[in-house]
Amino acid sequence: EKGRYDHYMHKEIHEQPRALEQTLQGRLGDGVALDDLADETLDGVERVAFVACGTSYHASLYGARLLIERGVPASAHLASEYVTAPPPARAGTIVVGVTQSGETADTLAALREAHSQDQPTLAVTNTVGSTAARECDDALFIRAGPEIGVAATKTFSSQVATLALLAEQLAAREGTGRGRPFRRALAALPDGVRTVVESDDVRSVARQFRDSDAYFFVGRGTGHPVALEGALKLKEITYEHAEGFAAGELKHGPLALVTERTPVFAIDTGHNTEKVASNAEEIRSRGGPVVAVGPADSPLGDRADAHLPVPDTDPALTGVLANVHLQLLAYHVAAELDRPIDKPRNLAKSVTVE
Ligand code: F6R
């Protein structure tokens, strides 16, 4: 039940510290322990191909970057595109379907395609007993608890945390894992999320920008999937136009859209920060308001109209914390505009047709 919250989405945003604790429970110690996986599941795995849709695709893009940072080749595919043009099967590739519900038709179709090519498959899902969990060779559960709001929130954070565990586990075999400092940062992630959720710094920003023409989100590295996710959340529950871009792409087209009525949320995840800061200047010199989302000492802070601070953590996890601000932004803008937050028009929680 919603308890003291007006909407499931708000409740689920606030549940994230607890959801993350459950995700990480028993999986961090002297190393990473993913006990749900059979011993042989990761044997011979040299490469990871993620297939997913929507928010789960953004978590997959994030996970792919965590693997690549550790020297493990990885790619993320929109499930519908994977089916349209399947990449050539290669020995050593595991196809990982990331799906909260475990029932998304496009993702199931991509996993079936991989299976038909004799590629090993793994489901990363929130739902025990789901079709994805049953049909894949193995399943890894994100353990976020039930999510009722149509907009995925806590499951994104738990998906990224699970993929971070998987990345560490795969990299550890090559000796390229980040080891104890990263495991400590992961263990502290629930507290970092709690700080962001409780501060609710974004409420006044939402009020300030509620009548904008459009909302843009830019980032680099893990900040890029967070930009895509921030825009998806905002468009689905506010019905306002929002787009996320790789910050480097701004000057290749989107900058033409920037006016004083289009706030740009610039996400600093420590990847090429100086370049994100110069992107922020390009935006401001064209009259666009900039909201920095990043560490308290981010150089973006001084060059922005507002700053949503993110607690200190390992840079690989900064994006998870930044994303929580953006979830709250979407929530508060939608509340200001009196939208039906838990049941946005035209959308269903689980999309079971291709
Ligand atoms: C967005 C959202 C959708 C889902 C997508 C995949 O808030 O909820 O974009 O992420 O439909 O769903 P799952 O993860 O169940 O496969």
**Pairing mode, strands 290-295 and 264-267:** parallel
Residue nearest to atom 3 of ligand 1 (CA): 54
Q: Is the CB of 107 under 6 A from ligand 1?
A: yes
pLDDT of residue 29: 87
- Host H or E run for residue 261: none
pLDDT of residue 160: 98
CA of 230 to the centre of ligand 1 (A): 14
Mutation probe of ligand 1 site: the residue of 50, 51, 101 with most atoms within 8 A of C-beta: 101
Nearest atom in ligand 1 to the alpha carbon of residue 351 is 11
pLDDT of residue 267: 97
pLDDT of residue 348: 82
Amino acid at 277: A
Residue nearest to atom 10 of ligand 1 (CA): 55
Task: Report in angstroms the alpha-carbon separations of 197 from 202, 234, 322, 327.
Answer: 10, 17, 11, 10
Q: Is the CB of 152 under 6 A from ligand 1?
A: yes
pLDDT of residue 351: 85
Q: Is the CB of 100 under 6 A from ligand 1?
A: yes
The answer to whether 188 and 234 have CB atoms below 8 angstroms apart is no
pLDDT of residue 313: 97
CA of 161 to the centre of ligand 1 (A): 17
Calpha distance 225→223 (Å, rounded): 6
Q: Is the CB of 119 under 6 A from ligand 1?
A: no
Q: Is the CB of 160 under 6 A from ligand 1?
A: no
CA of 54 to the centre of ligand 1 (A): 5
Mutation probe of ligand 1 site: the residue of 13, 53, 233, 234 with most atoms within 8 A of C-beta: 53
Three-state SS at 159: helix
Task: Extract the residue ranges of the chain whose pLDDT is less than 50.
Answer: none
CA of 20 to the centre of ligand 1 (A): 18
Q: Is the CB of 262 under 6 A from ligand 1?
A: no
User: What ipTM did this prediction achieve?
Assistant: 0.99
So which residues are the catalytic ones? 349
CA 253 to chain centre: 25
